[in-house]
Chain A
Amino acid sequence: MPQVKIIAKNFMDMVAALPAMKLDKLYDNAFICEAVLRSLPPLAKKYVMQMLYIDVSVTAKSLEEQVLPDGFSKHKVAIDRLLQLRIFVQSIDRKRETSYKLNPKFQDNLQKYLVYGGSLPREPMPTNITVRLPSPEELEAYAVDQWENFLLQLVTSAQGEKQMGFSSHLLKNFQRGLMSSRENESPKMSEHGFQFLLMDTNAQLWYIIREYISSAQDRGLDPTDLISFLLELSFHVMGEAYNMNSLTEVQTSAVKDLADLGLVKLQQGRKESWFIPTKLATNLSVSLSDTSARKQGFVVIETNFRMYAYSSSKLHCEILRLFARVEYQLPNLIVGAITKESLYNAFENGITGEQIISFLQLNAHPRVAEKIPSVPENVTDQIRLWETDRNRVEMIPSHFYDDFPSKDVFEAACDYAREIGGFLWEDSNKMRLIVRGEAHQDMRDFLRRQK
């Protein structure tokens, strides 16, 4: 089963991967310190709190002494994480003893935070200026709508249709990873693109944001500015309005891009304009993988492979079309079937059977979602069977060895091949051996050494 490469675990992994200079710069901002603190594993949090008011270095030994033997792996994970994020600064003294100290900036900011509490760089706008704010439901609907439009854009541009007016660099963002566009050819969705469509919203959002940040450099922006703004954004209150005047130039342009994605909603008053963060934005710094609040599903699969999808969304229809045969559409219902041919289509696009099954399970209609299993077993089994049917023949580049001068040499060669993990097949009567192609060089060297 091939691993899907594009799922990164969360925002913090990305922060941790920043170079030291940039990280130190990030910690200037108290919010980031808090966001980072929140993201830490429990034990790491405890260490930070413990060391918060200690100004001298603490030896690694004294930390280790607090740990019970079976908690040692957790301790190591915590320390590694803290070092990665440069919250702990490591120093090794003359006696080769390691000791840790809290990053002074981080420490300072957190101490202040404890005393004064956090305040955002901008306050929500008073309600007399913002005439009518959208209700939480409206806001949610808006966010979902924007997001779907964005994804639909991905699907339709893959089909060579006309663009719908998204800012071009945003589109380019995911085209880079998700589409394979060759010169003079309309962009085609790549394997990653298809897999991307089947991921859940949080994973998708995270992927896009990551691409957005990493492409910031190409546009001449400092990724740290973007990261700190995005983290800050996640501390804003959902549904409150914030004045656009309070933003820097970089942030303004970022906000506009984020509005396209449905992370914020832009509104214009008579004089001022403001932005309203949606749920998508406030979820951003929370470890994105474990937001369990899932949207309602819509798909019912029957044991006869018929599929009923209660949805009027064009995007849903396009996604289902990836692996099922859509037969007709009613205003609120898409009817189709999962057939061998439709699945082969999907497999050819690089979608795996497991991904299809997990998509169906994640998006099961509430009526069937309560049942176990939510997707009939015969259907999931058949999907897996059809998939393995495609891989019935396994071909491995390899080398075939024969004409061994003696049984001893042959057996030594077999043993050696097993040792280096390249052994595929042997016939001891006829002294024939097949070894993986990668191992050929080693085999050759080995046989040379045999006198």
Chain B
Amino acid sequence: MSWLKNFENESISFWEGSGNGKRQALYIMVNATKGLFISCDVPMAQFIVSYNASLPASQRFILHMLDSTHMFVQPHVAEMIRSRISEFRDQNTYEKPA
């Protein structure tokens, strides 16, 4: 018998806390988390990381920093990150007044 646990939108820490002791050799317990896979260049990754760090702990969205150009984040933050980036871009450009 084998089965798969699937906690959608649930953070991994839940498993780290309560999962370890209860794991039984009989089952295949693969943990699945729903989220967004982000791939970008290094500066953009740093930007996202620093944005994440600026938020209060309860709102941080990066679940796993995979490597310098990839990360795994909570599923609902796509729009938020996009608008942050475009805000940042706007700050760095200057439009000649008409």
Residues of A within 8 A of B (CB): 339-341, 389, 392-405, 409, 413, 424-425, 427, 432, 434, 437, 440, 443-444, 447-451
- Measured between beta carbons, the chain B residues less than 8 angstroms from A427 are 66
The answer to the question of B68 belonging to the interface, with a C-beta cut-off of 8 Å to chain A, is: no
CA of A447 to CA of B34, assembled, Å: 16
**Interface majority SS (helix, strand, loop, mixed), chain A:** mixed
Q: Is the Cβ of B29 less than 8 Å from the Cβ of A405?
A: yes
Q: Are A341 and B4 in contact, CB atoms less than 8 angstroms apart?
A: no
B41 smallest CB distance to A (angstroms): 6
Query: How close is A435's CB to chain B, nearest CB, in angstroms?
Result: 9
Chain B residue nearest to A396 (CB atoms) is: B37
Contacts A427-B66, A434-B72; A393 near B44 (Cβ below 8 A): yes
CB of B87 closer than 8 Å to a CB of A: no
- In the complex, the answer to whether A341 meets B2 with C-beta atoms within 8 Å is no
CB contact between A392 and one of B6, B41, B75 (< 8 Å): that residue: B41
B37 touches A401 (CB 8 A): no
Q: Taking CB as reference atom, which chain A residue is nearest B43?
A: A392
In the complex where A340-B93, A395-B37, A448-B2 touch, is A401 in contact with B30 (Cβ < 8 A)?
yes
Query: Which of B6, B15, B25, B85 lies in contact with A444, CB distance below 8 A?
Result: B6
- Write the residues of chain B forming the contact surface with A, with a CB cutoff of 8 angstroms: 1-4, 6, 12, 15, 19, 25, 28-41, 44, 48, 63-64, 66, 70, 72, 75, 78, 81-82, 85, 89, 93, 95-96
Contact flag A393-B30 (CB < 8 Å), given A427-B66, A447-B2: no
A444 touches B40 (CB 8 A): no
**A403–B31 touching, CB < 8 Å:** yes
- Docked pose: A37 CA to B64 CA in angstroms: 63
- Which residues on the A side are within 8 Å of B19 (C-beta)? 403
B2 and A450 contacting across the interface, CB-CB below 8 Å:
yes
What residues on B are CB-neighbors of A424 within 8 Å?
A: 37
Query: Does the CB pair A437–B78 fall under 8 Å?
Result: no
Interchain CA distance A341-B28 in the complex, whole Å? 53
A341-B95, A427-B66 known; A396 and B4 CB under 8 Å? Answer: no
CB within 8 Å for A434 and B37 given contacts A444-B4, A451-B2: yes
A397–B3 touching, CB < 8 Å: no
Give the docked Cα–Cα distance between A440 and B33 (Å): 10
Q: Which residue, B36, B40, B63, B70, has most C-beta atoms of chain A within 10 A? A: B36
Residues of B close to A403: CB separation below 8 A = 15, 19, 29-31
Instruction: Report the nearest A residue to B31, measured CB to CB.
Output: A403
Q: Which of A339, A392, A449 contacts B40 (CB 8 A)?
A: A392
A398 closest partner in B (C-beta): B37
Are B30 and A398 in contact, CB atoms less than 8 angstroms apart?
A: no
Bound state CA distance, A393 and B78, in angstroms?
A: 10
Q: What are 21 A-B pairs at a CB distance below 8 A?
A: A392-B44, A392-B85, A393-B40, A393-B44, A395-B81, A397-B36, A397-B37, A398-B37, A399-B33, A399-B34, A400-B12, A400-B32, A400-B34, A400-B72, A403-B19, A409-B30, A425-B66, A425-B70, A440-B32, A444-B4, A447-B4
By the criterion CB–CB under 8 Å, are A405 and B28 in contact? yes
Partner of B30, one of A339, A340, A447, A449: A447
Which residue of chain A has its CB nearest to the CB of B40?
A393
Q: Are A400 and B33 interface neighbours, CB within 8 A? A: yes
**What residues of chain A lie closer than 8 Å to B4, measured between beta carbons?**
444, 447-448
The residues of B that contact A450 with a CB separation of less than 8 Å are 2, 28
Q: Which 3 A-B pairs have the closest CB atoms?
A: A398-B37, A393-B40, A403-B31
B33 touches A447 (CB 8 A): no
A399-B35 contact, Cβ under 8 Å, with A393-B44, A434-B72: yes
Please, how many angstroms separate the alpha-carbon atoms of A451 and B63 in the complex? 29
Residues of B within 8 A of A339 (CB): 95-96
When distances are taken between beta carbons in the complex, the residues of chain B under 8 Å from A449 are 2
Q: How far is the CB of A408 from chain B (nearest CB, A)?
A: 11
Cβ-neighbour of A400 out of B2, B3, B48, B63 (below 8 A): B63
CB distance from B84 to the nearest CB of A (A): 10
Q: Is B38 a contact partner of A395 (Cβ separation < 8 A)?
A: yes
Nearest-neighbor residue (CB-CB) of B79 within chain A = A395
Q: Within 8 Å CB of A340, what residues of B?
A: 93
Given contacts A393-B44, A451-B1, list 15 more A-B pairs with CB under 8 A. A341-B95, A392-B40, A392-B44, A393-B38, A393-B39, A393-B81, A394-B39, A399-B35, A400-B63, A401-B32, A403-B31, A405-B25, A425-B37, A450-B2, A451-B28
> Which residues of A are found within 8 Å of B39, using beta-carbon distances?
393-394, 396
> How far is A427 from B71 in the complex, measured between Cα atoms in Å?
12
> CA–CA, A46 to B61, complex, Å?
66
Q: Which residues of B contact A341 (CB under 8 A)?
A: 93, 95
